[in-house]
Chain A
Amino acid sequence: MQRQGPAPVTGSGVPPQSPATDREAEEAGTADNRPEEREAERREAPTGEAPTGEAAAGESVGPEAGKSASAIPEAGKPASAIPEFRKPSPAISEAGKPAPTTAPAEAPAPAGPEAGTPAPVGSASRPVRRGRLTAALRSPDALNLVPLLVAAALWLWALPGIDFRDIEEFGLLDRFPLTFYAALTVLTCGFVLTLRRAGTAPLWPATYCAAMLVALKAPPAILYDTVRYAWASKHDAIISRLLHEGTVHPGRELSGGMGAYDQWPGFFSLDAALVRAFGVDAAASFINWAPVALGLLTVPVLILVYRTFSDDWRLVWTGVWIFQLANWVGQDYLSPQGFSYLLYLTVFAVVVRHFVLPGSAGTLRDRGTLDPAAAAVPPPTTTRQRAVAVLILLPVVATINASHQLTPVMLCATLFALCLTRRYRNIGLLVTSGAVMLVWNLTMGRELFLDTLGTLREKAGDLLGNSRPGFAGDPTGPGPELVGSANVLMVLALGGLAVAAVLLRRKLVRSALPLVLAAAAPLPMFAVNDYGGEMIFRVYLFGLPGSAFFAAAALVPAAGAVSRGAVIARRATAVALPVTLVAMLAGFLPSYYGKEGMHYAPPGETALTRRAFDRAPEGALILAATGAFPDAYYRYDHYERWFFTEQEVDENLRMLKDPAGYLAGGIPADRPAYVILTRTQGEAVIGEGYLPEGGFDSLRGALKRSPLFQVVEENTYGVVLRYRPTTGG
C-alpha cells in the first residue's frame, strides 16, 4: 500500500545517489569528523516513511546511534513509499561507525528490491497481481505525475487564449483564461502532494518548481512579439550600442545617467557576446526568456543555501516555492541586477557551506539542541581551504562588481553581517570583496561613484524618503490600486509568516542565523540612499531568501515532535500550507502581471517610436511623459530625453494646467524637440501614479491643440509632435 500517512517526508538527501559512494568518498577524506553529514545522509532513506522518523533518525548520529533505533516510532511500518536510491543497510555498515545500528530498524528488508526503480508500490500484505494499471495509477509517481499532466494540458490549452493584445486596466489578470488559473492551482496542489515524499523523491518537487516557474513566467516569452518591459528594452538598446561601438566609454557623460551603463558594462558585454554567438540581430531575440532562464539558474543555488540550514526537504522546497511566488518585484528581466542577484546568491551559498571556522559550531552539531528540521553546521574548513574558496569566488565577485552598482554593496553588507557570527567571521573574504568594489568604483565607476558620494550628504539619514517607492504619488485607477494592495498584502503575508517562524522556532533560528542576518543586512541601506526610488524593492529582494525560508518554516512544522501542540500544528498546517500557497499565488499574479499594460507594447507602437527617433535630427531633445515605454532609449547616445512627468505630483498638477506652455518653457532655445506619447506611457503614468486618472488624455489633447506643437504622426498607438517655437511664441 502506498504511503498515505500524514506525514510529509523529510530527509536530507541529495537527489538520488548512492550512500555507498558517499561513504567511500568520506572515507577518503576525514570521515571521523563528519558525523552530522553521515547522519544527514542516513536520515534520507528512513525518513521517507514516517513523519517522526526524520527527527528520530536525526538523533541517531554518531556515538549515540544506538539510542535512535528506539526513537523511530513507525519503523515497523512497511517502507513502501520508497527511496528509489535507497541501498541502506550494506552502505551504512561500511562506514564502520556505530551509526549503522539504525539502519536495519529504519529500512526494513522489503524496501531493498525497489531500489533504483520507481516501481509501483505495494506492501507485502497486498495482493500484488491486482492489475498493473490499478497499481500503476496508485503508485506515488502516478499521483505526482497526474496533476503535472493535467496542469500542463490546462496551461497549453490556456496559452492561445491569453488576450495580451487587448490589455485594459487590470493588466493580464482579466486576460488570462480560467484554465490558466486552474493550471496554476493544480500545479500548487500537485506540489503540495509531492512534499509527502520530498525526502525520497526530490525530483518531483523539483519538477513542480520548474513547471511553476515556466507556467508563471513563460507566457510573455512565448506570446509577445515585442520586448516585454520598458527597462528590458532599454538594456537591449545598451547592448546594441555596445556592439555598434565595440567598446565602452566610461568617462563620457550621456544624458539621463546612461553613462553609468558604460561604467558597469560586465553584464552587457556578456549579452553582446551572446548576441554575436547566437548570430541574431539583437538581444531582443531572447530577452523575454530571461525571467525563466534566471529563475532556472537561481533555484539550484537557492536549494544549496536552504539545504545548508535544513535537512528537511519539505522545508527546502516550500522555501523555494515561496521564494518564486514572493519574487514579484520584477527584477528578473534581462538586467544587471537580475544577473548579479544570481551571483550574489552563489557567493552566499559558497560562504555558508565552505567558510565555517573550525571550532565554531558548538551545540549546532548537537542533535539534541537543533530544531528537528535543522541541518547541522557544515564541516569547518582550514585557512587554506577558505583561501582556495576565496579564489574561486573572486571571478564571481569581480563579475558582480563589473555588472552592477548596488549588488556589491549588498554583498559586502551581507558578508559583514555574517562576520558578526563566530561561525562565519571571514574577514579575509569581506576585505577581498570590499577591495574589489573599491577598485572598481575608483576606476571604471569613478564618475557615478563620486556623484553618489556627493548626494549622500543630502540623502543619508532620510529613512522615510529613501524607503519611498518611486517618487510619484499613489497609483490611480482600480487596476494599479489592486496591484498596490496585492503588493502590500504579499509583503505582510511573507513578513508575518517569517516573523512567526522566527518567534516560534528559535532553535531553527539559531542554526539558520546566517539567513536571518542576510535578510536583515540590506535594511541599513534605507539610511543611505533611495536608489532612484528603487531601494525598497531592492531591500525586499535581498531579504527574500531568508524571509522565504522562514515563511516556509512557519508552514512546514518539524516532523519529529510528538507533543500535542506539535501534532495540532502539523494538522493545522496540512490545511494552511496549500491555502497559503494558493493565496500567495493569488498575490503574485496581480503584482507581476497587474500592470502589464505598461509592459507590453504592440509592434505598431514600437515602430511608431522608432520612426519618431529616426525622424529627429542628431542631438534633438525627445520628450515623453515617462521613460517607461519600450524603445524609450532607442539609439540613446544620439538624443537627449526629457521624461517630463517623472517628478513630484504637485509639479505635474501644475504642468497639467498648461502642458504646452510648461514643456515649451523647458525646451532650450534652438533645440529641435519632439514629443512622443504612446499608449504604454498612458498606462505607465497611471500605474506609477505620476498623473491623476484622465491626466494623460488631457495632456495629449492640450498638446495637439496647442500651436506650439505640430502633429507629425498619429495612429492608434500614439502620437508624435514636433515643437514649433516660432509660431507660438
Chain B
Amino acid sequence: MAHPRLTPRVQRRAALAASGWVALAATAFPGGSPLRWIPVLAFVALAPGLALLLPQPLGLRPGARLEALALAAPVSLSVATLVATTLFLTKAFSLTFFLVVLALFVSVASTLPGVPLPAATRGAVERDGARSPRFEMPLFRRRGTGGGG
C-alpha cells in the first residue's frame, strides 16, 4: 500500500470515498427521480458501514465477506440515524448538511484501516492452555468409520 497504485482495493476505497459526493450531486435531480433516490439510498444504506468494515489491510477473508455485507446496512443506517437525529435535535437539519456530514464520514473512514472485527482479520487467539485438558482426546467421532459411514 506504500505505492499509490490503482489496485482494485484502492479503487474500491476511492469509489467509497466518492460515493457520498456523488449522492450529494444526485440531489440536483428532480425529486422522486430514480437518478436521485437510487444513489442516495445506496449511499445512506451501505456506504458508512462498508467504509468502516471493508478496508482491511490484508483484504477480507472470504468468510468475512458475508459478514461485512450483512453488517454494512445496519451499521450504515445506524450512523445515518445518529447524524439525522443529532441534526434534528439541534434544529440544524438540512439535506445538504446531512449528506455532507455522512460523505465526510465515509471519505475519512475509507482512508483508514477498517475496523478489525476478528472474523475479518483472523486475529483472535486462543490462549495457551485455555482449553481444558480433559477435552483433548476425542476430536473425531466414533461412529461410522469402518463402513465408511
Contact = CB atoms under 8 A, between A and B. Distances in A.
A28 to B, nearest CB: 5
B17 interface: no
Contacts of A135: none
Interface string B54-90: 0000111111011101110111011111111101111
Nearest to A246: B91
B1 interface: no
Contacts of A407: none
Contacts of B73: 297, 300
Interface string B15-43: 00000000100010111110011001100
Given A277-B40, A359-B126, A562-B144, A395 B62 contact: no
Interface string A332-367: 000000010011001001100110001101110111
B66 A304 contact: yes
A668 interface: no
A265 B93 CA distance: 13
A64 B123 contact: no
Given A279-B33, A354-B117, A269 B84 contact: yes
Given A248-B89, A378-B119, A385-B116, A279 B74 contact: no
B118 to A, nearest CB: 5
A75 interface: yes
User: Interface size for chain B: under 10, 10 to 19, 20 to 34, or 35 or more residues?
Assistant: 35 or more
Contacts of A359: 126-127, 130-132
A55 B44 CA distance: 42
A435 interface: no
Given A14-B65, A277-B40, A30 B32 contact: no
Contacts of B91: 246-247
B81 A367 contact: no
Interface string A634-648: 000000000000000
Nearest to B58: A28
B123 A270 contact: no
A672 interface: no
Contacts of B138: 366, 368-369
A269 to B, nearest CB: 4
A699 interface: no
B122 A278 contact: no
A607 interface: no
A279 B27 contact: yes
User: Interface size for chain A: under 10, 10 to 19, 20 to 34, or 35 or more residues?
Assistant: 35 or more
B139 A367 contact: yes
A381 B127 CA distance: 9
Contacts of B81: 266-267, 269-270, 399, 402-403
Interface string A449-462: 00000000000000
A70 interface: yes
A399 B127 contact: no
A301 interface: yes
A362 to B, nearest CB: 6
Interface in A61-84: 61-64, 67-68, 70-75
A247 B147 contact: no
B7 interface: no
B52 interface: yes
A307 B98 CA distance: 36
B89 A72 contact: no
A532 interface: no
A587 to B, nearest CB: 28
Given A265-B88, A342-B77, 11 more contacts: A22-B62, A70-B146, A247-B89, A270-B84, A277-B95, A278-B40, A279-B36, A304-B67, A354-B118, A381-B118, A392-B117
Interface of A: 14-15, 17-19, 21-22, 25-26, 28-31, 33-34, 37, 41, 52, 55-56, 59-64, 67-68, 70-75, 242, 246-248, 265-267, 269-270, 272-274, 276-281, 285, 297, 300-301, 303-304, 307, 339, 342-343, 346, 349-350, 353-354, 358-359, 361-363, 365-369, 378-382, 385, 388-389, 391-392, 395-396, 398-399, 402-403, 560-563
Interface of B: 23, 27, 29-33, 36-37, 40-41, 44-45, 52, 58-63, 65-67, 69-71, 73-75, 77-85, 87-91, 93, 95, 98-99, 115-119, 121-127, 130-132, 135, 138-149
6 contacts: A70-B146, A71-B144, A272-B84, A279-B30, A361-B131, A562-B149
